[in-house]
Structure 1
Amino acid sequence: MIVERQIRACYGDETIRVYQAYPPAIADAALDAGTFVPPFKRERMTWIKPSFRWMAYRCGWAGKAGQERVLAIDVTRAGFHWALRHAALSHFDPAVHDDPDAWAAQVTASPVRVQWDPERDLHHRPLDHRSIQIGLRGAAVQRYVRQWITGIADVTGVMHEIGAHVAAGRDEAARALLPAERPYPLPDDLVSRLGAG
């Protein structure tokens, strides 16, 4: 059974994989350095996505301007959990927050945003369950680029290949190339904080 709000990702004992799409200048610099360096701007909020299909939807199979290169970034699970423990939901949720004022105060104080958006199928159609997007700013961005990243790989080629299969109606061939994502186990305190489940 698929849970409505559940993180699904590629992960191991120590790391979890997230995706970001950038123009070539930022992607090449990050690949060379093993982390994000200029022209990447640490002052801006940066969004990480554990779902490959949601990344594909967001960047149009790496076809949108400014998102021509897709990077797979392995981050420590400890860092990922830090981000989630310091996160505020992008929208007020009465199941999570006592009242709108408490939610607004959390948003102001938090260096991390979380939003749950509909997961997408291969044709970018919304599904009934949701995928997490995590926005990092301020202290969270600094930790991300300095401490959490353990490796960066360019997955633009496979993004293009899957997109070409989909465009040609070869859904099974496309599906065979998708990363094997599975439900990610969250500690109970994070389940309640994020409105997961």
Structure 2
Amino acid sequence: MKEFEIRADYKNDTLIVYQAYNKAIAQSAMEHQKFTAPFSFNRMTWIKPSFLWMMERSNYGQKSNQECTLAIHIKREAWEKALSKAILTSPEKRVYPDPRSWGKDFENAEIYVQWDPERNIKGTKLNYRSIQVGISRSLIEEFNEEWIVKIEDYTPLVKKILNLTKSGEFDKAKKLLPVEKNYPLSKELAHRIGATM
């Protein structure tokens, strides 16, 4: 694995990103196939294509207000449009030779990209990273109305995997994981988000 590469469950036109919410937000999202109140449109929202990173973040749905895991199918063209606007959350020299230019871009950014250590099924940090993408308030309505194709509730799957890991049946649990593969990027997009080519 390269240190900075996007791995995702994707098809020709869509890819899956994950978010975890409380039951009220998740049930409403499932019912309407988009986000509605009590979801907040007044704060940034982060989407993650790595299932295991989401599991680390939500502790397999055991953290308060993160009990339900949603698999959000979004348009690949929207995903790539978002990446084309993205600014890293820190001034990495390999992307921003001049940190002052990063500062200006960061202040005005609509999309943020952060790379965090990927995890394995036991929660151990790995030596390569996983992307998460922050959508600013100015684009959340567009994300909700135009990017989303379908929302699935992965909460039962998460519980099944958690129960298997608790009983030490990691091989069985691994077979249930979504299949994520390297997501192809143009050189321009890869450079913009600091991905490894």
Tell me if TM exceeds 0.5. yes
- Which residue in the other structure is 2:148 paired with? 149
Equivalence map 1:74-89=2 (5 Å): 74-89=73-88
Contact 1:83/1:140 (<8 A) preserved? no
Following superposition, the deviation at residue 143 of structure 1 comes to: 1.4
Q: How far apart are 1:98 and its partner, in Å?
A: 2.6
Give the TM-score normalised by the residue count of structure 2.
Answer: 0.98
Aligned residue in 1 for 2:46: 47
Query: Whole-Å Cα distance in 1 between the matches of residues 141 and 186 of structure 2?
Result: 24
Separation (CA, whole Å) in 1 of partners of 2:137 and 2:61: 27
Amino acid of the structure 1 residue aligned with 2:120: D
Tell me the residue number matched to 1:174. Answer: 173
Check the 8 A contact 1:8/1:183 in 2, yes or no. Answer: yes
Aligned residue for 1:135?
134
Q: How does 1:6-17 map to 2 (within 5 A)?
A: 6-17=5-16
**For 1:1-197, what aligned pairs fall within 5 Å after superposition?**
2-197=1-196
C-alpha distance in 2 between matches for 1:106 and 1:170: 47
Of 148-157 and 89-98, more deviation after overlay is shown by: 89-98
Q: Please, which runs of 5 or more residues in structure 1 have no aligned partner?
A: none
Give the distance between the partners of 1:84 and 1:184, measured in 2 at CA. Answer: 12
Amino acid at match of 1:62: G
Secondary structure of the 2:174 match is: helix
What number of residue pairs does the alignment pair up?
Answer: 196
- Compute the displacement of 1:49 (Å): 0.3
Structure 1 ranges of 4+ moved more than 3 A: none
- Counterpart residue type for residue 196 of structure 1: A
Q: Secondary structure at the match of 1:95?
A: coil
Q: Work out the CA distance in 2 between the residues paired with 1:108 and 1:82.
A: 19
Q: Return the offset for 1:123.
A: 1.1
The alpha-carbon deviation at position 17 of structure 1 amounts to: 0.4
Which deviates further from its counterpart, 57-66 or 135-144? 135-144
Mapped partners of 2:166, 2:98: distance in 1: 46
Question: Does structure 2 retain, via aligned residues, the 8 Å contact 1:162–1:177?
Answer: yes
Range moving further from structure 2, 134-143 or 17-26: 134-143
Tell me, in whole angstroms, the C-alpha distance in 2 between the residues paired with 1:16 and 1:43. 25
